[in-house]
Amino acid sequence: MKSSNNRISRRSMLSRTAAIGSGLFAAGSDLSSLFAAGESRGFKIGACEWSLGKKDPSCFDLAKEIGLDGVQVDLGNPGDGVRMTKPEVRKAYLAAAKRNGLEIASLAMAVMNGIPLKSDPRAAKWLDQSIDICKALGITLTMPALFHKGHLDMKKTKEINHVVKVIKDVTPKAEKAGITIALENYLSAKDNMKIIERIGSPNVKVYYDVGNSTDKGYDIYSEIRELGKNGLLCEFHLKDSRFVLCRDKGRVDFKEVRKAMDDVDYRGWLQLESAHPKGVVADYRFSCNELRKIFPPKV
């Protein structure tokens, strides 16, 4: 555990030093100051496969129609034979992404919401398999979803111990393959950091959902900074309860989210998982276009 802390601290220090040298930290309070960075690095906006209402390669056709950069795809579940474990399914997804000029951003394992990583050996097996699936898809992030039946409670020591062990057992394989295991749950930043410290691998990070964390009453802007300064952010879900992003007056201030990201030099994928009462194409296209003003592809 001590060596894990040292790795995180060194990584954090180097990241922040490089960011200061490159002028990547935001200055001032107006939006224009956010875009004064010196490097051509920016953000990619995608959507979760399930949010698009698709569970097949046609999700990329819809993503292209909306104007997205890619899709976070899902592992599948026992009802569809856990589809991403099948080479022919992966081939079809890769072909659809290529045909549309889009990317597969990452792999989610929503099945663990019902078949918990904290207790079911099938979930542990799928986590291990997801490393190979990521390699086959040419991506570097796998996300075990830990909600509903898979929800983590820090007071339930036996369950937390099991989750730590299962993930720790897979991390040597993940490290060798260059795959990040991204934890998404309802825990606070501090509790996630406790779990990651116990696992002790630089390849375990937090998949941050601004909507979920707002639901739980966390200060999302402080949490983004806290996780980011420790090198523990890897990808984001963007949602805000029933609100259409950037159209409705919701709870999340995305300009402040951007400032927090700038303060820790986060650049990368942002996945829409938000409400779309007027239809996914119309609402996601609107939100995507507005979000690109705050999170542009080149910064």
**The two structure tokens encoding residue 12:** 């954090």
Give the pLDDT confidence of 66-109 residue by residue, as tens digits: 999 999 999 999 999 999 999 999 999 999 999 999 999 999 99
Say what the pLDDT of residue 37 is.
Answer: 37
Query: Is 2-294 a CATH 3.20.20.150 domain?
Result: yes
How many Å separate Cα 190 from the centre of its chain? 18
Say what the pLDDT of residue 31 is.
Answer: 41
Q: What share of the chain in percent tops pLDDT 90? A: 86
Q: Which of 116, 114, 96, 113 is nearest to 55 (CA)?
A: 96
What's the CA gap between 134 and 52, in Å, rounded?
Answer: 21
Task: State the Cα angle at 186 between 181 and 189, rounded to 5°.
Answer: 70
Give the pLDDT confidence of 132-178 residue by residue, as tens digits: 999 999 999 999 999 999 999 999 999 999 999 999 999 999 999 99
Confidence bin at 30 (pLDDT 50/70/90): very low
Q: Which of 198, 130, 116 is nearest to 170 (CA)?
A: 130
Q: What share of the chain in percent tops pLDDT 70? A: 87
pLDDT surpassing 90 at residue 4: no
Q: Which of 11, 31, 13, 9 is nearest to 262 (CA)?
A: 31
Say what the pLDDT of residue 299 is.
Answer: 86
| Residues contacting residue 176 through CB under 8 Å, at least 6 positions apart | none
* Cβ atoms 188, 124 nearer than 8 A: no
Query: How does the average pLDDT of the chain come out, rounded?
Result: 90
Summarize the confidence of residues 236-248 as an average pLDDT: 97
What's the CA gap between 254 and 261, in Å, rounded?
Answer: 10
Summarize the confidence of residues 33-39 as an average pLDDT: 38
pLDDT surpassing 80 at residue 40: no
